Amino acid sequence: MKESWVGPIKDTWEPADLLDQKIVHRGAKWDVVVEQVEIGNSVVQRDVVVHPGAVAVVALNENEQIFLIRQYRQPLGMYLFETPAGLLDHGNESPLRAAQRELAEEAGLMASEWNVLVDFFNTPGGSSEAIRIYLARGIAQVSGGRIHTGEAEEMHLPGVWVDLDAACSLVLAGDLGNPTTVVGALAAQSAMRAKWHSLRPAQAPWQAHARRKLVRPD
Compare 156 and 107 and report the one with higher pLDDT: 107
Judging by beta carbons within 10 Å of its beta carbon (0-12, 13-18, 19+), is residue 87 exposed, middle or buried?
middle
Q: Is the dihedral of CA 44, 39, 120, 194 positive or negative?
A: positive
What is the reported pLDDT for 218? 47
> Among candidates 54, 63, 138, 67, which has minimal Cα distance to 101?
54
| Average pLDDT of the segment spanning 133-144 | 94
For residue 44, pLDDT over 70 is answered with yes
pLDDT in tens, 3-26: 899 999 999 899 899 999 999 999
Q: How many C-beta atoms lie closer than 10 Å to residue 51's C-beta?
A: 21
pLDDT in tens, 158-195: 999 999 999 999 999 999 999 999 999 999 999 999 99
| Average pLDDT of the segment spanning 198-209 | 93
Q: Is the dihedral of CA 44, 49, 52, 56 positive or negative?
A: negative
The CATH fold assigned to 54-208 is Nucleoside Triphosphate Pyrophosphohydrolase (3.90.79)
Q: Which of 113, 151, 153, 154 is the catalytic position?
A: 151
What is the reported pLDDT for 29? 82
| Average pLDDT of the segment spanning 142-159 | 73
What is the reported pLDDT for 195? 97
Judging by beta carbons within 10 Å of its beta carbon (0-12, 13-18, 19+), is residue 215 exposed, middle or buried?
middle
Residue type, 7: G
For residue 157, pLDDT over 90 is answered with no
Compare 47 and 217 and report the one with higher pLDDT: 47
The helix-helix angle for 179-193 and 164-172 (nearest 10°) equals 130
Spatial separation of the C-alpha atoms in residues 129 and 121, rounded to whole Å: 6
| Residue positions counted in the chain | 218
| 3 catalytic residue (yes or no) | no
Tell me the Ramachandran region of residue 196: left when phi exceeds 0, alpha when psi lies from -120 to 50, beta otherwise: left
3-state secondary structure of 172: helix
Compare 7 and 144 and report the one with higher pLDDT: 7
- Judge contact between 54 and 129, C-beta under 8 A: yes
What is the reported pLDDT for 66? 98
Spatial separation of the C-alpha atoms in residues 198 and 195, rounded to whole Å: 8
For residue 217, pLDDT over 70 is answered with no
What is the reported pLDDT for 211? 77
Tell me the Ramachandran region of residue 9: left when phi exceeds 0, alpha when psi lies from -120 to 50, beta otherwise: beta
pLDDT in tens, 52-104: 899 999 999 999 999 999 999 999 999 999 999 999 876 678 999 999 999 99
- CATH 3.90.79.10 region(s) of the chain? 54-208
What is the reported pLDDT for 109? 96
